[in-house]
A and B are shown apart, each in its own frame.
Chain A
Amino acid sequence: NAGVMQNPRHLVRRRGQEARLRCSPMKGHSHVYWYRQLPEEGLKFMVYLQKENIIDESGMPKERFSAEFPKEGPSILRIQQVVRGDSAAYFCASSPGAAPSNEQFFGPGTRLTVL
């Protein structure tokens, strides 16, 4: 049973370009979380999605950031017009359900560098 998969593992973009980060949850998991980790800091929640629904996007910046989890295919975190401050590691986690006792399983992350 493959774990959470994220691609690309490393992404370099110039200021103003778009970044697309992909996350395939563990088999059987329909709940996806995105977190951002700035250098030497803890992870900060961004968004929580179930299939075809955004449940909680309270951690997402209001502009330039969007997320989706379509019926088929991976979850996508999209950052438009990237700026240097977007440079960070972006982690996806999946869970079999929304119960608070469920642990979240993390992917290896996508390290975004904005030049």
Chain B
Amino acid sequence: AQSVAQPEDQVNVAEGNPLTVKCTYSVSGNPYLFWYVQYPNRGLQFLLKYITGDNLVKGSYGFEAEFNKSQTSFHLKKPSALVSDSALYFCAVRGMDSSYKLIFGSGTRLLVRP
């Protein structure tokens, strides 16, 4: 069965510093991986996805993620954090049954301090 783990409940960084939000996955076959961001009392916004090809995926708002097959990881990164990046981040893997539902991690709260 597919699953996703986000080992950190919260990540704290100073504005201007690089940030990493970790995600590891477990799938049978090739993974389809996604990152979403959720601001307070809002729905999820799509950031980026890995389907195939280049291991470094670039997404919205300056975010990127690195797919590492040997480590089964898909960490979200940004070279320089902004206070406005503070939000809840979810990693997800696409289920490979007939529905292709998203299977989400538990989420990581990112706090960027000024």
Contact A108 B43 (CB under 8 A): yes
One of B45, B46, B101 near A45 (C-beta < 8 A)? B101
Kindly report which residue of chain B lies nearest to residue A44, judged by CB atoms: B104
Residues on B with beta carbons closer than 8 Å to the beta carbon of A6:
43
Q: Mark B78-107, 1 if CB is under 8 A from A, else 0.
A: 000000000000100011111111111111
Q: Which of B43, B49, B96 makes the CB contact (< 8 A) with A103?
A: B49
**Contact, CB under 8 Å: A42 / B105:** yes
* A56, B45: Cβ atoms closer than 8 Å: no
Q: Is the CB of B43 within 8 A of A42?
A: no
Within 8 A of A (CB), among B35-62: 36, 41-46, 49, 51
- Residue A4 CB within 8 A of the other chain: yes
The DSSP consensus for interface residues of chain B is loop
A45→B104 CA distance, assembly (Å): 9
Give Cα A58–Cα B1 distance, bound, in whole angstroms: 14
Contact, CB under 8 Å: A101 / B32: yes
Task: Tell me how many residues of A have a C-beta within 8 Å of chain B.
Answer: 30
Q: How many residues of B contact A (CB 8 A)?
A: 26
Residue of chain B at shortest CB distance from A4: B43
A25 interface hit (Cβ, 8 Å) = no
Q: In the bound complex, how far is the Cα of B16 from the Cα of A30, in angstroms? A: 42
Residues of A within 8 A of B101 (CB): 33, 45, 48, 56, 59
Q: Collect the chain B residues with CB atoms within 8 Å of residue A56's CB.
A: 97-99, 101
In the complex, chain A residues whose CB is within 8 Å of the CB of B97: 56
Given A105-B46, A107-B43, A108-B42: A99 touches B100 (CB 8 Å cut-off)? yes
Is the C-beta of B34 less than 8 angstroms from some C-beta in chain A? yes
Bitwise, A1-41 to B at CB < 8 A (1) or not (0) is: 00010100000000000000000000000000101000011
Q: Give 6 CB contacts A-B under 8 Å.
A: A35-B102, A45-B95, A55-B99, A58-B99, A103-B49, A106-B44
Known: A100-B96, A109-B42, A111-B41. 13 other contacts (CB 8 A): A35-B102, A35-B104, A42-B105, A42-B107, A43-B44, A43-B104, A55-B99, A56-B98, A91-B43, A100-B100, A104-B102, A106-B43, A106-B45
For the complex of A and B, the 3 pairs showing the least CB-CB separation, nearest first, are A56-B99, A48-B99, A42-B104
